[in-house]
A and B are shown apart, each in its own frame.
Chain A
């Protein structure tokens, strides 16, 4: 029975070739746009997740309260006996198979200064102390095969505690453009003396005293060495030297102008001085993002069991930007889906209405021969569904073809929150259930659009229909 209906519907589509083509094209365009945008958002979501997991790990363990109150004073929220805690996490039979990297990290704030050369400059910095080999292993995480891997450049060594990287903005502020040979980094203009302060004549006495124990004018101005000043937990002023081996651009300007990446041991030396060395957070990078909630639950259970005053946060909590981007793109997607759905709806309604108008005589004849109303209705509904199916299929095929073309073309772009360009990649089939949902939705809209004209056709009175010219 259905077979005959489909055959008739198909014949009707082929008969009005041009009209059917236009309608199917509208559906195809809708499918194409939605699928390509889906591919783009999938790529962005997975790319952002990869970037965050590479830098922050999936989960971070803090001392309770740090997440809400600790950012202003990281040194006051150190984890006591962190080696023991890390050992118990690493040895846990549930967590052990999930964990890819387990590493300590220290956040700190202070003042970065370059007193060498003529232009002394200083600025408050935000620093991160890491274990370089662990960080490199984290940066290689790529569950979704995005190909994103930006190693520390030049690499930092576990053995050399004095080396570190800084943001390009901070390098510029600290007059390190020349020593680091940074491109597009003009040297700062010579500082004018502040108004109202007239430099008096040099007091030879003081100058001699000052130069007696410490060389004046700093060490050789060519070296890229900076001083990091911070107050230790005990309140004592503390200073360490950092050999800046390179500058890495950071996504946000505020971060770029303040970021210092250093060896964990150096960060601990600066923050804890002669006291017990602690850390801010234990970083867990998992082998698979799907383990996240299980790992989190297990960690919480572990801390409860051992009465440890620790809390667990995932990367989405640490980077609100991640959730914001996801919500932004989701709402844009919803908007596109609505517009495309409307277009498909009107196109199909229009076509089917014309169909019904043209075939009133045919409907009357069918009805006179004893065909039931329900079958007339099904006849037109099936035609709508067929148009929807054909259009969606063509749109999906086109979307896949275009995505393949774009992926091969090697176009690069800078995603939000990123500092470096990465290849543009449209991941149309990255989330297959969603792609399928889009196609099914469009077919459903086409079918629903046919409902109104089909009902009208079904309700026609036989006599009127037969008389219709």
Chain B
């Protein structure tokens, strides 16, 4: 039983690690247009080439640490859909080591080496637990949402420092978009993503996201940590630390459900 619950928790890690590639749909003449800002901040978050990275997830309940996961993630953009496909491999804790998750577009497959089977995880099953936080980081802002610029705003970032930001309002552009409505703050000039607020179809605030610890990784300064706060169960928070970015030549064959059992990670 503990294996199952830990697996679900760890799923979140997998999803989280799946930093989505964000693509500009239309470059508008005016500068800076909302879509341009989104595109630029997407380039800050994700390298433009296939890469592997290490993600450390820490779960907090009421502000105190509860759980720890470390995973290796392989990401590669799908040329047809402009969405990133992600393959997640659990490294730590030992009870979860060897478990894998494949996130391809909106379908999610989970592989457990103990039973040697791949299971599809439905949307309903991703509702609670930390599995749901993946949706915050894998939203394909450029493709799935239409952005409008609300204005310039000065907000406090995760470290309580003032940042001059563009305040963007994102509306779901198609049925594939997970959230109906997203508020996003991007720093002026650097295009660093600073903060996001994610709303459900019913208009309820679901999650708040902060990016922090900006550092050079794989050719650009990128956020190396995300803090995700659950706005429904307000006692829950998760941090995701990204590191060890390496560009990697990842064969397309890896992103198949059937390949999950055969994937070996050093």
Q: Are A241 and B204 in contact, CB atoms less than 8 angstroms apart?
A: yes
Contact residues in B for A214 (Cβ distance below 8 Å): 205, 208, 229, 231, 234
Whether B264 is near chain A, meaning CB under 8 Å from some CB there, is no
Whether the pair B231, A213 counts as a contact (CB closer than 8 A) is yes
Give B197's nearest chain A residue, CB to CB: A213
Kindly list chain A residues whose C-beta atoms are within 8 Å of the C-beta of B237: 206, 209-210
Q: Given known contacts A203-B65, A274-B180, is B200 in contact with A231 (CB within 8 Å)?
A: no
- How distant is the Cα of A161 from the Cα of B204 in the complex, in angstroms? 16
Report the bound CA distance from A124 to B51 in whole Å.
39
Q: How far is the CA of A6 from the CA of B60 in the complex (A)?
A: 95
Query: B220 to nearest A CB, angstroms?
Result: 25
For the complex, give the distance between the alpha carbons of A269 and B123 in Å.
Answer: 17
B162 to chain A, nearest CB (A): 14
* Closest A residue to B180 using CB positions: A274
Residues of chain A lying within 8 A (CB to CB) of residue B88: none
A204 touches B (CB below 8 Å) = yes
- Residues in A whose Cβ lies below 8 Å from that of B201: 232, 236, 238, 269, 273-274
**Interface flag for A237 (CB, 8 Å):** yes
Query: A221 contacts the other chain (Cβ, under 8 Å)?
Result: no
Interface residues on chain B, size class = 35 or more
Residue of A at shortest CB range from B2?
Answer: A196
| Residues on the B chain within 8 Å of A209, using CB | 158, 210, 227, 229, 237
Tell me the complex Cα distance, A321–B67, Å.
Answer: 46
Say whether B25 faces chain A, with CB atoms less than 8 Å apart.
no
A244 CB-CB contact with B under 8 Å: no
Number of A-B contacts (CB under 8 A): 126
A-side contacts of B96, CB under 8 Å: none
From B64, B67, B127, B175, contact of A237 by CB (8 A): B127
Question: Which of B123, B180, B231 gathers the greatest number of chain A CB atoms within 10 Å?
Answer: B123
Residue in A110, A115, A235, A241 whose beta carbon sits within 8 Å of that of B178 in the complex: A235
**When the two chains form the complex, which single residue of A120, A213, A238, A274 contacts B229, counting CB atoms closer than 8 Å?**
A213
**A-chain residues with CB within 8 Å of residue B118 when the two chains form the complex:** none
Q: Is A469 among interface residues, defined by CB-CB distance under 8 A?
A: no
Q: Mask for B40-75, Cβ within 8 A of A = 1, else 0?
A: 000000000000000000001111111100000000
Q: Which of A120, A215, A218, A239 contacts B204 (CB 8 A)?
A: A239
In the assembled complex, how far is the CB of residue B73 from the closest CB belonging to chain A, in whole angstroms?
A: 22
Q: B232 contacts which of A115, A203, A210, A215 (Cβ < 8 Å)? A: A115
Q: Per a CB cutoff under 8 Å, which of A120, A203, A237 touches B132?
A: A237
Q: Which residues of chain B from 154 to 186 have any CB-CB distance to chain A below 8 Å in the complex? A: 156, 158, 160, 172, 175-180
List B residues 231-250 near A (Cβ within 8 Å). Answer: 231-235, 237, 239
Q: Tell me the bound Cα distance from A212 to B61 in angstroms.
A: 16
Taking the closest CB of chain B, its distance from the CB of A109, in whole angstroms, is: 8
A200 and B204 contact, CB distance less than 8 A: no
The chain B residue sitting closest to A240, CB to CB, is B202
A113 at the interface (CB under 8 A from B): yes
Q: Would you call A200 and B64 a contact (CB within 8 A)?
A: yes
Q: Are B227 and A236 in contact (CB under 8 A)?
A: no
| Complexed CA–CA distance, A241 and B204 (Å) | 9
B256 to A: closest C-beta gap in Å: 21
Q: Is B206 an interface residue (CB 8 A)?
A: yes
**Lowest 7 A-B CB distances belong to which pairs?**
A273-B201, A207-B63, A235-B123, A231-B123, A202-B63, A200-B65, A239-B204
Pairs A–B under 8 Å by Cβ, sample size 15: A113-B232, A201-B64, A202-B62, A202-B64, A206-B227, A207-B63, A209-B210, A213-B205, A214-B205, A214-B234, A234-B175, A236-B177, A236-B179, A239-B204, A239-B206
B contact set with A: CB distance below 8 Å: 60-67, 106, 122-124, 126-128, 132, 135, 156, 158, 160, 172, 175-180, 197, 200-202, 204-206, 208, 210, 227, 229, 231-235, 237, 239
